[in-house]
Amino acid sequence: MKQMEKEYRSVRVGGMSESSYGTATMECFKREKLGNYTVLFVGPWTPDKLRAIGEFCRKENMRFVMDEMMNRLTGEFTPSYLPVKKEVLEVLEEYRDVLDGSLLMCEYGGLMFYWPHSTVAESRTLPPPASDFGEAAHNTERQMKEALAYARSNGMKPPFICIEACGVAASFLYRAGIDRVDLEVIYTSELERGYSAVKGASLAFGKQHFGVDMAMVWYGGNQHDELWAKRWRTSLFHAFLRGADPVYAEHGVMDYKALGKDYGTEHPQVKRFRSILAEVADYAEKHPRPSGFPKAVIGVVHGRYDGFTGAGQTHLWGQRRNETFRLGVPDRSWSLFERLYRRRAWENRERYGDADFSGNPPLGQADIIPYDAPDEIFSRYQVLFFLGRNCMNGELYRKLIRFVKNGGQLLMTAAHLNTSLLPQGEYEPYLNGDWSELFGVRIRSREDTRLPYGIKFKAEPPCGWRFPLWSPNCDPKYSDGGFLTADLECDGAETLAVASDRFADGVWSDSMQGVIYSRKLGQGCAILVNSLEYPGADGLKELYGFLMDSCCEANQQYPKVECSDRVRFAVYESAPGSILYLLNTEENLAQEVTVHHSATSRSVLRLLPGEIRGIPVRYVVPLRHEKSFSQENVFLVSGK
């Protein structure tokens, strides 16, 4: 039993408590079994109300998070808390045993990066104007650190928790000193990217947990029909599967007052909202989840000085008045991330093998990793690839060399080897274009040319990625308008694909322009796309997306899950075995899932609409940094 307690933990579930209700929300938690965690919000919370919350949490074995006491736009204490500041801080210290931390500058990513200028125009906490990415990144981090220093010097109680709607901002927050980032789920197509970024940043900065604030009331739609309720339920279980702890409702426990609705505590819709929260709280209590985060094979690098966050952002690094910082093609590259969670169409001619595992990354997860993550974090992944901007420097370049030498697979473009810090500056290749050590190529001249039409694959990389090798005489592939290429020459690389503008090339020739190169380095392999444009460019995105598909296909790990992209899954490692969680996100349709345990063993499961199921797995094929098991020891034990 002691070993079980060390290896498993019940995910904390709950919701926000608004000051106008006092302890009534907590009483509702107890009465309807809604969970054991609350975040205080919509203050001010008076000292008396805080004492009542503290006493309730002690008695009922619950924990609470303190309300935001600082104004986001001024960076100072809110006027409502100033008169009672001293006594409030004393009460929080008195109940330290049940205090989980304090909210601080929530949605700071919005303030700094993606809120419109009209929202932040009067703010005194915005970063000053900057001339390049390095200065802008430094200014942004400094502003965040000043807010944290103000909080500490005024006695606010750490750990400091920031609720952030854009997960890609998590690494910026952690660099500044935030202790925990809670993803605010706002129900958009950026959902998986947000989870991946918060999880990856949490790993990189040594955090044990990230939370999820479920903003269903304001962002989940306003038609209270069956799909609305089922969307709410699915999102809670999805947070459980994705590794969140705690998981809590932002609003909606005591009322629904948003988007044209005004429902009280006993309204049927509000009661149903609570009943779904109670169902998830009951599941979390009865199904302790293995400690740690779900495993992942694929890591996407969030590049150096990449100021992209998403969520309606228009300018990088908060430089809303500087048009040179306006988002462009490099930033649109991040839309390719969604491809990892979309199943390929049946007519796709580049699906190979006996089964198609697209629709989810290998093991169901892909993490977005900050460029400055330590080597031991990079080494968790079999594959790293770049999407958005990157300003290459020696430290990152050497880290990538170590990653590949130790058995990793790397994919990036020549654009990611740019060193220029200017938003629209001239291309400045790292090491003047001598990338022979990592990629086995170097720039021969600065005579950049545009891909004339399309490409033809002539070889596959040594890491097992599969390409359509259709000979020199066939239609060029990925003829989507072309992209700007460099004049490269090989110095240890193998040319995998060449440029072509005709059907009949006759035979492969060394004079044909190389487009994709690979180099075997140590135990790994580095693949470079000869493009001076980022993967989001119109002429490149389908080719780069195909390469992402190929790397996912080649790096499947057991248990391999064959399913539609309406099923999400995750693998958690623990002792004595691992758990495969499967979630059917379809509201009204059952889904069939085939779990491949090994090359010769598989099981077929039927998931009911909205069903989540945890299946014990004795062993899974390990990732490359872990102790290995023989292939014969891979099997799955069925269970519910």
In DSSP notation, 380-445 reads T-SEEEE-S-----HHHHHHHHHHHHTT-EEEEEGGGGB---STTPPP-BGGGGEEHHHHSEEEEE
The pLDDT of residue 608 is 97
The pLDDT of residue 110 is 86
Q: Which of helix, strand or coil describes residue 175?
A: helix
Tokens standing for residue 288 = 């302790």
Tokens standing for residue 395 = 């430290």
The pLDDT of residue 618 is 63
Q: What's the mean pLDDT in 33-40?
A: 97
| Whole-Å CA distances, 94 to 47, 77, 88, 176, 387 | 11, 21, 10, 28, 48
Residue 251: CB atoms within 10 A of its CB come to 21
With bands split at pLDDT 50, 70 and 90, how would you rate the model's confidence at 63?
A: very high
| Whole-Å CA distances, 222 to 166, 233, 362 | 22, 15, 35
With bands split at pLDDT 50, 70 and 90, how would you rate the model's confidence at 501?
A: very high
Closest listed residue to residue 334, CA positions, set 359, 311, 366, 308: 308
Report how far residue 198's alpha carbon sits from residue 379's, in angstroms, rounded to the nearest whole number: 18
- Is the predicted pLDDT of residue 630 greater than 70, yes or no? no
Tokens standing for residue 264 = 């009280």
- In tens, the pLDDT along 341-388 reads 999 999 988 888 899 999 999 999 999 999 999 999 999 999 999 999
Report how far residue 415's alpha carbon sits from residue 297's, in angstroms, rounded to the nearest whole number: 24
- In tens, the pLDDT along 220-263 reads 998 889 999 999 999 999 999 999 999 999 999 999 999 888 99
Report how far residue 464's alpha carbon sits from residue 450's, in angstroms, rounded to the nearest whole number: 29
CA atoms 585, 295, 624, 631: torsion sign: negative
Q: Is the omega angle on the peptide bond into residue 127 within 30 degrees of 0, that is, cis? A: no
The pLDDT of residue 284 is 97
Tokens standing for residue 482 = 């072309």
- Is the predicted pLDDT of residue 638 greater than 60, yes or no? no
Residue 236: CB atoms within 10 A of its CB come to 26
pTM summary value: 0.93
Report how far residue 403's alpha carbon sits from residue 87's, in angstroms, rounded to the nearest whole number: 52
Report how far residue 23's alpha carbon sits from residue 540's, in angstroms, rounded to the nearest whole number: 56
Q: Is the omega angle on the peptide bond into residue 246 within 30 degrees of 0, that is, cis? A: yes
- In tens, the pLDDT along 417-474 reads 999 999 988 999 999 999 999 999 999 998 889 998 999 999 999 999 999 998 999 9
- Is the predicted pLDDT of residue 320 greater than 70, yes or no? yes
With bands split at pLDDT 50, 70 and 90, how would you rate the model's confidence at 123?
A: confident
